[in-house]
């Protein structure tokens, strides 16, 4: 079967170009080839990008029997493990998803907001005036602690640091260890594969220790962290999750919910700092507004303009017609998140940061896709949105930052995610929360600003 047209350049050229300037590459390919095009990439083979919202709706909501997202994500199995909801398909995927969903819905996520605010307040209070910080690094530290407390249920500093040391060593490993069996080959303790294997064993041992510790806690039935809820969860046959399944899902929550949310927050700060009009309005709304409509719109507009993933993934197991093209089995289909978010017919002046667009009309179905869609939509979407909103709620009224680069960070590929190349480097010009703490006061940031202006 003929595939849709696309760039004829070799896979290595496409991959290098995409890694260095992913959004620019995608925009050019879309402009040249239309709403469906084919790209060859190293490590991923032949993929067909789909930018038509109606075709994406059909992919996400229609018959899923010939679409395997788990197979498309299988390159992540060396780190996430074979039981991860991201690498499973069919009945196994549905079982894991049903067990995982309840802790991330509604009131459960609402209860985590206090944890997020507490972590954010302590993080931001430590930013000294005149200090220079890399926001993505600080947001990674913040989101890791949120996951430790809300997901793992760990609050003791020594245990948090042990988890950080061992788990981040694995998460930060080169993407080559995921996509290349040769790179993972253990050729001795000093070989790259040997170092990776040792880090993975150390992380697994610590997670096993935490799982067993929690199983033995006398207050397990009363605890509200995600790990405790999963330990109590039962499927339709009355069976719970094994330690191996729990290990893989905990690693998945860390890998999928730590780096991505931290990157989204770094993008949010950058966009706010580069758009003073929006920053001023957000600060005023947070200090004097009656609802969170504008805060939520800022979060949604950030994820529209700077999605952390450029596309979702599906692998065809049978011929399927997609956007008018008959595609053969074995081809990967990429619903193009970033490109849909840049469609002029959906978002007028799409390259502008305008949260008001989500106040006026909201987002049409399958035109806002930062978390994917259908039965594979990100389970942690509500938690990620809550994290971004609560961190901005704490930070924006309390701290004044200044970008250290004249121009915004270029968007590049980091692993499989889109990220700011330099991590958004800023200088701290004023920190009201730190002034309050040093003064021993208990006034609100807005009151302190008024009194000391």
- 387-399 pLDDT, tens per residue? 999 999 999 999 9
Q: How confident is the model at residue 263 (pLDDT cuts 50, 70, 90)?
A: very high
Q: Which domain holds residue 77?
A: 11-452
Counting the structural domains of the chain, the total is 1
pLDDT of res. 439: 52
pLDDT higher than threshold 80 for residue 443: no
Residue 5 belongs to a domain = no
Q: How confident is the model at residue 215 (pLDDT cuts 50, 70, 90)?
A: very high
34 CB-near residues (< 8 Å, 6+ apart): 4, 51
pLDDT of res. 438: 58
pLDDT of res. 434: 62
Mean residue pLDDT across the chain: 90
Q: How confident is the model at residue 436 (pLDDT cuts 50, 70, 90)?
A: low
User: SS3 breakdown of the chain: % helix, strand, coil, rounded to 5?
Assistant: 55, 10, 35
Percentage of residues in the chain with pLDDT exceeding 70?
94
pLDDT of res. 300: 96
pLDDT of res. 432: 86
Residue 428 belongs to a domain = yes
Q: How confident is the model at residue 144 (pLDDT cuts 50, 70, 90)?
A: very high
Distances (CA, A) of 56 to 49, 321, 378, 435: 10, 12, 16, 50
240-265 average pLDDT score: 92
For residue range 333-385, list pLDDT tens digits in order: 999 999 999 999 999 999 999 999 999 776 677 899 999 988 889 999 999 99
Q: Which residues pair with 2 in a beta bridge?
A: none
Kindly state the tokens that stand for 33: 């080839």
Kindly state the tokens that stand for 356: 């008001």
Q: How confident is the model at residue 270 (pLDDT cuts 50, 70, 90)?
A: very high
Residue 195 belongs to a domain = yes
Q: How confident is the model at residue 107 (pLDDT cuts 50, 70, 90)?
A: confident
Q: How confident is the model at residue 267 (pLDDT cuts 50, 70, 90)?
A: very high
Q: How confident is the model at residue 327 (pLDDT cuts 50, 70, 90)?
A: very high
Strands (E), 296-350: 314-316, 320-322, 325-327, 332-335
pLDDT of res. 184: 75
Percentage of residues in the chain with pLDDT exceeding 90?
70
Residue entry with tokens 């330690």: 243
Of how many residues is the chain composed?
Answer: 453
Angle between helices 135-146 and 381-398 (to 10 degrees): 130
pLDDT of res. 257: 83
For residue range 178-196, list pLDDT tens digits in order: 767 777 777 777 788 888 8
pLDDT of res. 135: 97
Residue 310 belongs to a domain = yes
The CATH number of residue 172's host domain is 1.10.630.10
Residue 3 belongs to a domain = no
């Amino acid at each position: 079967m003929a595939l849709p047209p696309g760039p004829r350049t070799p896979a290595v050229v496409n991959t290098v170009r995409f890694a260095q300037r992913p959004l620019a590459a995608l925009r050019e390919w879309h402009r040249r080839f239309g709403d469906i095009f084919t790209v060859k990439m190293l490590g991923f083979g032949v993929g067909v990008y789909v930018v038509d919202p109606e075709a994406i709706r059909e992919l996400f909501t229609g018959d899923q029997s010939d679409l395997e997202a788990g197979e498309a994500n299988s390159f992540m199995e060396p780190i996430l493990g074979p039981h991860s909801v991201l690498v499973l398909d069919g009945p196994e995927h549905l079982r894991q998803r049903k067990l995982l969903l309840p802790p991330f819905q509604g009131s459960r996520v609402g209860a985590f907001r206090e944890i997020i605010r507490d972590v954010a307040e302590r993080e931001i209070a430590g930013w000294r005036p005149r200090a220079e910080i890399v926001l993505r690094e600080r947001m990674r530290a913040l989101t890791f602690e949120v996951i430790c407390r809300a997901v793992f249920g760990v609050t003791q500093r020594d245990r948090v640091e042990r988890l950080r040391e061992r788990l981040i060593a694995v998460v930060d490993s080169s993407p080559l260890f995921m996509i290349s069996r040769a790179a993972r080959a253990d050729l001795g303790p000093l070989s790259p594969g040997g170092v990776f294997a040792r880090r993975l064993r150390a992380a697994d041992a610590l997670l096993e220790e935490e799982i067993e510790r929690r199983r033995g806690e006398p207050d397990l039935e009363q605890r509200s962290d995600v790990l405790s809820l999963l330990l109590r969860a039962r499927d339709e046959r009355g069976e719970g999750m094994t330690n191996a399944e729990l290990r893989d899902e905990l690693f998945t929550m860390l890998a999928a919910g730590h780096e991505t949310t931290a990157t989204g927050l770094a993008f949010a700060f950058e966009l706010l700092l580069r758009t003073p009009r929006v920053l001023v309005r957000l600060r005023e709304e947070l200090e004097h507004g009656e609802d969170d409509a504008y805060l939520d719109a800022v979060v949604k507009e950030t994820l529209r303009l700077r999605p952390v993933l450029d596309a979702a993934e599906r692998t065809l197991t049978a011929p399927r017609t997609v956007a008018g093209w008959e595609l053969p089995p074995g081809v990967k289909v990429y619903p193009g998140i970033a490109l849909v978010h840049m469609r002029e017919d959906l978002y007028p002046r799409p390259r502008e940061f305008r949260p008001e667009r989500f106040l006026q009309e909201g987002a049409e179905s399958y035109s806002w896709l930062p978390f994917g869609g259908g039965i594979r939509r990100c389970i942690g979407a509500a938690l990620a949105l809550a994290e971004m909103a609560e961190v901005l709620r704490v930070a924006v009224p309390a701290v004044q930052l200044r970008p250290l680069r004249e121009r915004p960070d270029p968007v590049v590929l980091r692993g499989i995610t889109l990220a700011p190349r330099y991590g958004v480097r800023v200088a701290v010009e004023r920190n009201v929360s730190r002034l309050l703490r040093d003064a021993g006061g208990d006034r609100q940031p807005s009151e302190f600003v008024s009194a000391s202006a």
